[in-house]
């Protein structure tokens, strides 16, 4: 089973598949290359291992984040899941 974390795009480089994405309060570089655009700051995505896997609505992202608020996972833990550089 894979864990996906919602994030909100805050910045996209021109002509790039990489975006700066707010993941539970931590901004990470995330690849948008697996999904079709166009993308805009404010769009929500589901992230796994540094890749956007699915578009999300703001409501879907909010609902998914409540799982972390209700459990023992912290914002830093959620952000680490979205970062492929963090060892598992």
Which domains are seen in the chain, by residue range?
Answer: 5-81 (2.30.30.140)
- Label the pairing between strands 44-48 and 51-56: antiparallel
Determine phi and psi for 30, rounding to 5 degrees.
-130, 140
pLDDT at 1: 59
pLDDT at 82: 55
pLDDT at 88: 42
* pTM over 0.85, yes/no: no
CA-to-CA distance for 53 and 4, rounded, in angstroms?
Answer: 8
pLDDT at 59: 94
Instruction: Show the low-confidence residues of the chain (pLDDT under 70).
Output: 1, 70-88
pLDDT at 84: 52
pLDDT at 37: 87
């Amino acid at each position: 089973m894979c864990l996906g974390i919602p994030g909100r795009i805050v910045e996209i480089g021109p002509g790039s598949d990489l975006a700066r994405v707010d993941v539970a309060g931590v901004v990470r570089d995330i690849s948008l290359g697996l999904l079709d655009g166009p993308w805009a700051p404010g769009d929500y995505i589901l992230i796994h291992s540094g890749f956007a896997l699915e578009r999300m609505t703001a409501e879907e992202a909010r609902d998914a984040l409540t799982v972390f608020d209700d459990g023992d996972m912290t914002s830093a833990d959620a952000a680490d899941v979205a970062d492929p550089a963090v060892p598992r």
